[in-house]
Structure 1
Amino acid sequence: MVDATYRGDLRDLNELNFARFDAKLEQRVEGLQAKLETKMAELQARFEQRLAEMETRLTRRLFNFWIAQAATTAALVFAVVKLVH
């Protein structure tokens, strides 16, 4: 009888301790998830900003290249026309 009573008390105590542990674990997991979501949002914003900066630089470089090519082509056309006349 006493053994069964102690077993019941021990079982109840273990269930109570497990419930506390589970609640603390759930709270910590939620905190970590919130931190992770915040960090991911920060990283995504930085990535998008850097991508936009790179796109701007690339567009500027390509535009400069096109201008140089157009000037070279125009100079060659004028040189050929001058040589022909």
Structure 2
Amino acid sequence: MTAMYATITSKGQITLPVEARRALGLREGQKVSVRVEGNSLVIDAPESVESLRARIREEATRRGTWGIVPAAGDGWTARAEDFRAGD
């Protein structure tokens, strides 16, 4: 795909070129993921619920925790160190 350009408005908004929206399958009102990587702004289409479920299942299986459900009221605790990159 060729380079595309957009202008930042006084409110900090940009309009994504139609070619980019079509390439990512984006629709009006849809949320996107935005992140800064070095000197670039990366805009990603959101994952489908099915692919997100599959990714969670794969990670839980890898960690050996798939199918483990806490007792009612126990809740789950998430710690930052549990989500280190590369684990």
Q: TM-score, normalised by structure 2?
A: 0.23
Larger strand share, 1 or 2: 2
Q: Relative contact order (alpha carbons < 8 A, sep ≥ 6): 1 or 2 greater? A: 2
Larger helix share, 1 or 2: 1
